[in-house]
Every structure is written in structure tokens, then in C-alpha cells.
Structure 1
Amino acid sequence: MEEEFLLVSEDGSPRAVAAAVLQHASSEDGDPDPETPGGNLEKEFAQEQVEISTRPCADLPSLLEEVRAGRWRADSSAQHAGARIAALATSPKDVEPTVVVNRRAQDIAEEFAQTARDQLTCGCHVHVSVDDDEEGVRVVDHLRRWNPVLLALSTNSPFWRGDDSGYQSFRSQVWGRWPTAGATAPFGDAATYRSTVRSLVESGTILDTGMIYFDARLSAHYPTVEVRVADVCLDPEDAVLLGALVRGLADTAVERGDEGLPPQPRAEEVRVAGWRAARSGLTGDLVSPTTGRPVAAGTAVDELVRHVTPALERNGDLTWVREHLEALLRRGNGAQQQRRWRQEGADDAELARRAVRATLG
């Protein structure tokens, strides 16, 4: 699991101190082990943010421990640079992001102009292992109809440029401006996936395969499918819940495929469902993953859980998922909590303080 965080000051303003944070983390942790992915603090596109990744885990308690430990390590290094980390998918306070000092990042900033200048956004990326690219494409295709529900569960970006955006996830709207971002048509097999990626790169519109920003993609570095649709989660347990559901969907894709489901929806239908999830999150209707009709958010979530229940049972995750899903729905996700804090009178500084506390669990 990879999580991106804002670096914030006491008054809630994002601070461009990523270089100092990473330097401290490197002095504390030493060089990363090239044989073991994850566990490191890394740069992101803007100097006002950092990314932490967990090591591979096979059970939810281990993943939760990794997520919490990673957040604490990142915050410790941030404090040495006069900042804190906050799991907010967009900044509640207006800010002009500072692109990191990196040739590729600078090239992206020049080529993509305002789209790149707006990209101070924080997501959560879940990697799940697959045997090969053929299995990976089956997982990517299977995820399509369910990705909007994963987004709805994770929504955590209601504010943009100092105002309430009216969306539960405005990050997804900003992120969707990249030319390759969002939902795709079904690929069917690995050859079609690879030829599609090759065509996008050869179009000259994107710099390289690192700019393939599909909601779910084959990882360029690991034998995994990387699910990129979610906002970073305010609560560490919500992040682990997201991981459990992604693994359940991947297992279901391999074991049963689309058995018992209607035909794959068109890309246009998935995009509409994604927009609906971004707009209302868990506070209104979503598009049903199975019927394509409006249903209450809780109903769409129930559809997902029922679909992956056999896989969750086999993994020993079902009880944990049900308990923590109930807690999330009762408490509200990050977007709901942020709006509630505003209604209680929290200014930018207080909202940032509460977000830091929630981030660290």
C-alpha cells in the first residue's frame, strides 16, 4: 500500500519541505533494501507532500501495523522539518504547489501546464500480487464496475482552493484531467493491455509508461495490479479496509471472474458511476455496480461486500471487514469528518490539527 500525505504547518498551510523530510528519513532509515519493496519514505510530484509505502503483507493486522508505523515515521521526519503529515487528499487551504527538483517532474510541469500545477492531491494505491500479466488483466477488468464504490468509501477531499467544492472527492476530479486517468474499456488479455499502453506512449502525449494513470493498472515495477482510484484515507483502519476489499476483489476475479454478473459496463457508464461517487461519496445515491441504476450508498457497498464474501472468508478477513465497515459508516469517512469539523467551527489550523491526530490513529 502506498499513501500520499500533505506536509502542513501549524496554521494548516501546506509546506514545501519534502526535501528536508526525506533527508531526515534517509539518515534515520539508511538505504532501502532493493530486494524488499516498500517501507520507505519517498518524494511525490510536489514539495508539499511525501509518500510512504508498506512492505508486502499477507494479513490485515500486519498491514495495519505497517500503515500505522509508516505514518508515524513520516510524521517524525516531518517534525524535524517543522511540519506534520496530514492524510488529506486535497488542501483545505489555498496553495500554489511547488514542483520537486527533478527533471522528469519539471518536464511534466512544462508539458501539462495548469493540469500539473493543480496536482497537489493525495491518493492511496493498493498493490495486490498476481501470478502473471494475464491474471493481472483479469483483475484489472474485473475491478472496473467496483472501483467507484472503492472511491466512495475513501472520499476525503471536499475542499479546494479554500472553498467547499461540493464534492466528497474533488481530488478525483482534479486527477481526472490527466489524459490517461480514470476508467478504461475492458482489455481482455495482456497483449491488448500492452499494445494499448504502447499506443498511448507512442502518441507523444504522455512522457512514458509511468504516466499511465488508469484507475487500476499493471505495475511497471512489481508483479502486482495497482489500484489507484482511492483518496488517501484519513483513518489508518479505513486504508486497511480498502486493502482488504481490493484483495477480495482480486481473489474473486481469479476464482470466479464475472460469474453471475451482467455484462461488463461500457467505459462511459463506469465514468458516470465514478463521477457520482466523487460527488456524493457515502452521503447520497451511488450507481449500482450490478444494475447501473441509482441506489443508496449503503446498498452499493453491500453489493460489493456480498460479491467478495467468499474470498474474504477464505482469507480470514470477513469479520474484520464487517466490523470496520460498520465503524466507518457510523463515523463517516474523511470527507464527512472534515465537513463535520468545519460545521463545529474548526478553522484551517484546527482542521489541520484534527487531521494530524486522525492520520496517526
Structure 2
Amino acid sequence: MMRTVGVEEELLLVDAESGEAQALSAAVLESAEREASGDSVFESELHRQQLEFATHPCADMGELAASVHRWRAEAQRHAARAGASVVALATSPLPVSPTIGAGERYRWMAERYGLTAQEQLTCGCHIHVSVSSEEEGVAVLDRVRCWLPVLLALSANSPFWQGQDTKYASYRNRVWGRWPSAGPVDLHLSAERYHAQVRAMVGTGVLRDEGMVYFDARLSHRYPTVEIRIADVCLDPDDTVLLATLVRALVETSAGEWRAGEPPAGVSAALLRVASWQAARAGMEDRLVHPRTLLPEPAPDVLRALLEHVRDALEDSGDLAAVEKALAAVERRGNGARVQREVLARTGSLSATVAECVRITGG
């Protein structure tokens, strides 16, 4: 059986003219819910300047691509009714004063975490891949962890923050890392130990519940999936599909290693944190920490190492040719961070940059 994949994307709501983030999620959700037959795919997020959608699980990547395009277009249609646009940017390029969303949970977070919560206007992409059991899921988490910084570099799409170039490709990753539970973790080794760690973290009272365990990759507390959470939301919808395809292949490869009795690499969380910092800083424009050697190597070489690592899984699923083509396209035009910087260099305007990104978001 082919593993299914689902995608959650967080989008930024912006003024169609100025490009400034707009606190209009309630109006957009109301528009979407009026038309929804059954459960809506759209949800609110921590800030009112955000909108999230989730695809249904798909075994075929062409079906997933159609779903991502469809829900981005639907989000844009509902946003337009509120006088706004949606854009797949992981941070707002223009200055913004984020507004915490309605609801008791969000109020609790605002009170508990103060400025950390207030400043968390960031948009990510979460990839869910089905697993047969929690033991398989934890085995996968232990084996994908070294490759997660490469996915961050590939998806990096947040170079600007409060009107400034941060010098990072993914400043979202740096902001997200302020949460007490965010980032890489050490090996779990069993489902029992994984859950014991989660219980202990929640038991401290620092976290409200297990939904606030923001590991870079975790067992979903709602679905029978592993959830890869490290990525920025991708500017181009084709890159979202590429990311999801690579993640599924990583999961399949890792599960195969576990079944074959191959132990996970014993890289510490401290080293993975350094690798993630480098990926957030460099994106695809400089060197990354190679997952096998833990030495700096050119980003294209590290991407090719990822491709070789999952090649057999991609061949088995019939996705290899599509991934090779998509990776070549990203290497040619760059990730979202590079595209944003190139548009700003060409136009001299962050507003024009957002406008161009609105166009790209729709594919």
C-alpha cells in the first residue's frame, strides 16, 4: 500500500494594494463556512492575519498537487470577498502589529508566552505521512531527523521581518524557535519513551497540552501519521508538492531501514540545532551541514545527497522523474527567499514584492 500524504499550509492575509498584513481571518472563514458542505478545510490560526487549510490524505502526488492548487485558489476567492489577498509567505515583509485570534486557547497562549506569542506571525507547511503503527512512526522520527535541515533550506521563504532584510533565508525558523518545545530533539528509540517525554513536558505546566509539543517532527496527536513541521510555507505550490513527495520518500526509506534493523544515526540534538541554524541562514545559497558527514558542503551537493538517499523509494512510487524535474527547477530559480529578494532588487518596493508573491502563490 502506498503511504498517504496530507499537507497543512498557513497563508498570510494581506491588503491587495499595499501588501500589508490584514487581520481579516474571521471574515474569510465566515465566507468559507457559508459555502462549506460538511467540514471546512480552512481554520483560524494564532493570529488574525493568518489562514490555514489542510488537504485530505492523498496517495497520488498529482491528486495532492490539484488539492493544493484548489485550496489556495479557494482561499484567495474568500479573501477577495473581504477585500484582501492570500500570499504564501512565511513572514510578512512589511511592518506589522500582529493581532491574537479569538478563543480561550489563543488568549491563554498570549498571556502565558507574552511577546513570544505576540510576535509569532509566521506561516509554516506541515506534511503528514501515514504510518502503520506508533512504533514505526517513532522509528521514522529517529531516522529522518538528520535530513530535516535540508528540507528547511529547500522551503526557506522568510527573508524579511518588520520591513528589513534579516540576512536569513528562513527567519521564521528563528522566530519559531522561541517556543519552549520547538526544534530538534534527541533519539526517542521507542513509542513508550516518546510518549513519556511528551507527558513529562506537559506535566511541567509550561505547555498547555500535547498539541503544543512543537518538535521539528512528531507523531500527530490527531491522525495515524508522522508530522514533519520544520518547513516554511512554500511560495510556489509546485515546491509544496516537491516537499511532500520528498517527505513521503524519507518516511518510506526510514521505515525500510528500521525493518532491516539499521540503527538511527546518533547525532545529538545540539548538532542538529546548529545544522538547522545554518539551513535557516543560508537556504540554498551557501553551504549546508551534510547529514552524513556533519561538515559544510555546497547546498546543491547536499540536495543531491538527499535525492540519492530516497531514490529507491521515489522509483518505487513512480515519483523520481517528477522530483528530479522539480529539484532542477528550484535550483534554477531558487526558493522563496531568493525569489523575494530578486523581486525587491528589481522593483525596490516591498509592496511590489508582496504583489508578485500573491501572483506566484496562485501558481
TM-score norm. by structure 2 comes to 0.96
Q: Which residue of 2 aligns with 1:22?
A: 29
TM alignment of 1:35-74, pairs within 5 A: 40-74=41-75
TM alignment of 1:231-310, pairs within 5 A: 231-257=232-258, 263-310=265-312
SS in 1 for 2:310: helix
Distance in 1, Cα, partners of 2:242 & 2:304: 14
Question: Could you give the per-residue CA deviations for residues 178-200 of structure 1, whole angstroms, max 9, x where no partner exists?
Answer: 00000000100000000000000
SS in 1 for 2:96: coil
TM alignment of 1:139-288, pairs within 5 A: 139-257=140-258, 263-288=265-290
TM-superposed CA distance for 1:349, in Å, is 2.1
The 1:346/1:87 distance shift into structure 2, 3 A limit, reads farther
Q: Which residue of 1 aligns with 2:10?
A: 4
Contact 1:215–1:227 (8 Å) recurs in 2? yes
Contact 2:143–2:264 (8 Å) recurs in 1? no
TM-superposed CA distance for 1:256, in Å, is 1.9
**Which of 332, 335, 344 matches 2:334?**
332
Distance in 2, Cα, partners of 1:260 & 1:26: 48
Distance in 2, Cα, partners of 1:26 & 1:356: 23
List alignment gaps of at least 5 residues for structure 1. 33-38
SS in 2 for 1:93: coil
Question: Could you give the per-residue CA deviations for residues 145-173 of structure 1, whole angstroms, max 9, x where no partner exists?
Answer: 00000000000000001100010000000
The CA RMSD over aligned residues, in Å, is 1.2
Percent of aligned positions that are identical: 47
Contact 2:48–2:100 (8 Å) recurs in 1? yes
Contact 1:5–1:50 (8 Å) recurs in 2? yes
Distance in 1, Cα, partners of 2:130 & 2:264: 26
TM-superposed CA distance for 1:347, in Å, is 1.3
Residue 97 (str. 1) matches residue 104 (str. 2): no
Which is further off, 261-270 or 222-231? 261-270
Question: Could you give the per-residue CA deviations for residues 195-227 of structure 1, whole angstroms, max 9, x where no partner exists?
Answer: 000000001111111100000000011000000
TM-superposed CA distance for 1:261, in Å, is 8.4
Distance in 1, Cα, partners of 2:265 & 2:10: 35
TM-superposed CA distance for 1:262, in Å, is 8.0
**Which of 346, 351, 354 matches 2:353?**
351
TM-superposed CA distance for 1:28, in Å, is 1.4
Distance in 2, Cα, partners of 1:325 & 1:97: 34
Distance in 2, Cα, partners of 1:93 & 1:356: 14
TM-score norm. by structure 1 comes to 0.96
Contact 1:78–1:84 (8 Å) recurs in 2? yes
Q: Which residue of 2 aligns with 1:36?
A: none
Q: Which amino acid aligns with 1:79?
A: A
Contact 1:261–1:290 (8 Å) recurs in 2? no
Question: Could you give the per-residue CA deviations for residues 10-32 of structure 1, whole angstroms, max 9, x where no partner exists?
Answer: 20100000000000000112331
Distance in 2, Cα, partners of 1:256 & 1:214: 22
Q: Which amino acid aligns with 1:142?
A: R
Contact 1:262–1:290 (8 Å) recurs in 2? no
Q: Which amino acid aligns with 1:87?
A: A
Which is further off, 248-257 or 292-301? 248-257
Distance in 1, Cα, partners of 2:57 & 2:71: 13
TM-superposed CA distance for 1:351, in Å, is 1.1
Contact 2:143–2:265 (8 Å) recurs in 1? no
The 1:312/1:261 distance shift into structure 2, 3 A limit, reads farther
TM-superposed CA distance for 1:259, in Å, is 7.5
Distance in 2, Cα, partners of 1:260 & 1:195: 24
Distance in 1, Cα, partners of 2:262 & 2:197: 28
Distance in 2, Cα, partners of 1:346 & 1:325: 29
Count of residues in correspondence between the two structures: 355
Distance in 2, Cα, partners of 1:281 & 1:25: 35
Contact 2:142–2:264 (8 Å) recurs in 1? no
TM-superposed CA distance for 1:115, in Å, is 0.5
Contact 1:233–1:239 (8 Å) recurs in 2? yes
List alignment gaps of at least 5 residues for structure 2. 1-6
Contact 1:151–1:274 (8 Å) recurs in 2? yes
Which is further off, 231-240 or 55-64? 55-64
Q: Which amino acid aligns with 1:202?
A: G
Distance in 1, Cα, partners of 2:32 & 2:143: 38
Q: Which amino acid aligns with 2:21?
A: P
Q: Which residue of 2 aligns with 1:35?
A: none
Distance in 2, Cα, partners of 1:99 & 1:132: 36
TM alignment of 1:56-135, pairs within 5 A: 56-135=57-136
